A = this chain, B = another copy of it.
Amino acid sequence: MDNYNLLQENIRKRIEVTDDEISYFIFLLQQKKYSRKELILRESEISHNFTFIVSGCVKSYLIDTKGEEHILTIAPSDWWITDINSFVSGTPGNLFLEALEPTTALLLSREKQELLLAKIPKFEKYFRILTEKAFAVSQQRIIDYMSLTALERLEKFVASYPSVISSLTQQQIASYIGVTPSFFSRMIKGKKIF
């Protein structure tokens, strides 16, 4: 049961549930382990799962027409991640999901999520609260893009994801904050950021 404790806490922080209700949620999950750099989802595939990170770290990213990688989100342990557009619409997405470290995850398929919500509607509140938070983070990221300098975005990123920084290359951090690796090198030269 150990791998389910973190999810259980994550749920109980947001809604009141009985042990039986938690057990049913857990019964619907599929546990998976990924090695470092293993692809969890490829572009043009349908993102069938909502993925909870028990340990490790996963990034979502896209590859643009020039072949360059852009990181959209980084999910450390205790976070859910998916290609939300693909997950919600059930159509092929444009994101890749990849493990940045050896990762253990719990997968909830859209089908199983619907089963869960039909049987125990109180989990609607859990997913509504999770999604509100994810939406707020996403909106804040757009605001930061619009109004902060690259250096300010970097400082905010380092402060927000202290546990993740060590798993990332400088190139990946540059990609997340939206600058080229060479601009990134020049920007941090002589500065103490990490």
Contacts and interface: CB of A to CB of B under 8 A. Distances in A.
Contacts of A131: 128, 131-132, 135
Contacts of A65: 147
A142 to B, nearest CB: 6
Given A117-B125, A121-B122, A124-B125, A94 B143 contact: yes
B72 A136 contact: no
B64 A140 contact: no
B140 A85 contact: yes
A178 interface: yes
Nearest to A128: B128
Nearest to A121: B121
A3 to B, nearest CB: 26
A135 B62 contact: no
A146 B64 contact: yes
B117 A147 contact: no
The oligomer's copy count stands at: 2
6 contacts: A62-B146, A64-B146, A72-B143, A85-B140, A124-B125, A135-B138
Interface of A: 62, 64-65, 70, 72, 84-85, 88-89, 94-95, 117, 121-122, 124-125, 127-128, 131-136, 138-143, 145-147, 178
Contact of A135 (B70, B117, B135, B147): B135
A68 B146 CA distance: 10
A151 to B, nearest CB: 14
Nearest to A83: B139
Contacts of A138: 135, 138-139, 142
A145 to B, nearest CB: 6
B64 A147 contact: yes
